[in-house]
């Protein structure tokens, strides 16, 4: 007798429609942030129209108009570049000193005790409180700003990086040592990648501290130091009662913070710790 399977061949598999590609987590996060910013802008505009007094609270559209004026004149872009230049120098110096201290802390117990003591002493100290000393030691100029901002970067980065290294499991260190890794190779291939989430967190906190400290320092003595940064732009227009321009300067400060946070640090996390599975998506 013929085989039943030949008389009744199996039915072909059902074809399902392909699923639409879902946007990635980073794109979803950007969309949510854009929605939140749009809602905040609407609330700003509504409250400004309700107050109806530009000397107290200008509208969002009025602030954008002022932002367009000072940008077209070249005044605000020059101030932004001046602030970012000082910030870049201060941030680089702070990272270099923090790397040196963390390296000493990883290499020896004395270095660890040294870093712990210094962070306990200076991390709670507001950077802006060092401004009078900076004026005495370095005078009116960019070096005073760099000294103050560097202080705000150094301890946040060093503390987080050291905590990340100390949290590495001893088993992971032993694995690296069994593979023949010692010294700088062990730090580069085992310790640094394992502590990268804490390091990036320290970089983010250090950036936020540095940016707000720089703006505060420029508000105090930005003109006399010839830095003419965004902080002094805000103070200058406040003295002239040009409040929409003041809000335009504040909007730029917030916008730069959002740009660095959303593009630089989140992009760095997406390409490193999230891709490596060290952080939840």
β partners of residue 53: 57
pLDDT at 61 over 80: yes
pLDDT at 56 over 90: no
Per the domain annotation, does 221 fall within a domain? Answer: yes
pLDDT at 236: 86
Q: 141-178 in b/e burial notation, b at 16+ Cβ within 10 A?
A: ebebbbbbbbbbbbbbbbbbbbebbeebeeeeeeebee
Structural domain count, the chain: 1
Average pLDDT on 252-259 reads 90
Q: What residues contact residue 128 under an 8 Å CB cut-off, 6+ apart?
A: 148, 213, 216, 217, 220
pTM of the model: 0.80
Per the domain annotation, does 154 fall within a domain? Answer: yes
pLDDT at 196: 82
Per the domain annotation, does 193 fall within a domain? Answer: yes
β partners of residue 57: 53
Per the domain annotation, does 6 fall within a domain? Answer: no
Per the domain annotation, does 222 fall within a domain? Answer: yes
Which CATH number fits the domain that encloses residue 152?
1.10.3720.10
Residue percentage of the chain with pLDDT more than 70: 85
pLDDT at 1 over 50: no
**Domain hosting residue 125, numbered range:** 77-271
Per the domain annotation, does 21 fall within a domain? Answer: no
Per the domain annotation, does 20 fall within a domain? Answer: no
pLDDT tens for each residue of 185-204 = 777 777 777 888 888 888 88
pLDDT at 238 over 50: yes
pLDDT at 5 over 50: no
């Amino acid at each position: 007798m013929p085989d039943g399977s030949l008389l009744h061949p199996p039915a072909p598999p059902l074809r399902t429609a392909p699923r639409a590609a879902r946007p990635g987590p980073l794109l979803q996060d950007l969309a949510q942030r854009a929605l939140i910013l749009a809602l905040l802008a609407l609330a700003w505009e509504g409250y400004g129209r309700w107050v109806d007094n530009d000397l107290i609270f200008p509208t969002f559209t009025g602030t954008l108009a002022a932002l367009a004026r000072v940008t077209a004149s070249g005044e605000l872009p020059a101030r932004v570049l001046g602030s970012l230049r000082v910030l870049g120098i201060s941030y680089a110096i702070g990272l270099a000193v923090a790397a040196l201290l963390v390296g000493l802390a990883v290499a020896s117990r004395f270095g660890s005790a040294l870093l712990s003591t210094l962070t306990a002493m200076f991390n709670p100290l507001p950077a802006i409180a060092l401004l009078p000393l900076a004026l005495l030691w370095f005078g009116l100029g960019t070096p005073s700003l760099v000294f103050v901002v560097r202080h705000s970067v150094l301890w946040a980065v060093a503390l987080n990086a050291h905590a990340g290294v100390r949290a590495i499991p001893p088993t992971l260190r032993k694995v690296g040592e069994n593979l023949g890794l010692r010294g700088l190779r062990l730090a580069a291939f085992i310790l640094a990648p394992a502590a990268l989430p804490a390091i990036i967190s320290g970089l983010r906190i250090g950036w936020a501290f540095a940016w707000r400290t720089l703006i505060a320092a420029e508000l105090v003595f930005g003109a006399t130091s010839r830095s003419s940064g965004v902080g002094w732009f805000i103070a200058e227009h406040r003295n002239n009662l040009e409040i929409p321009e003041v809000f335009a300067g504040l909007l730029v400060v917030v916008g730069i913070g959002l740009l660095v946070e959303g593009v630089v640090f989140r992009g760095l996390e997406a390409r490193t710790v999230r891709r490596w599975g060290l952080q939840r998506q």
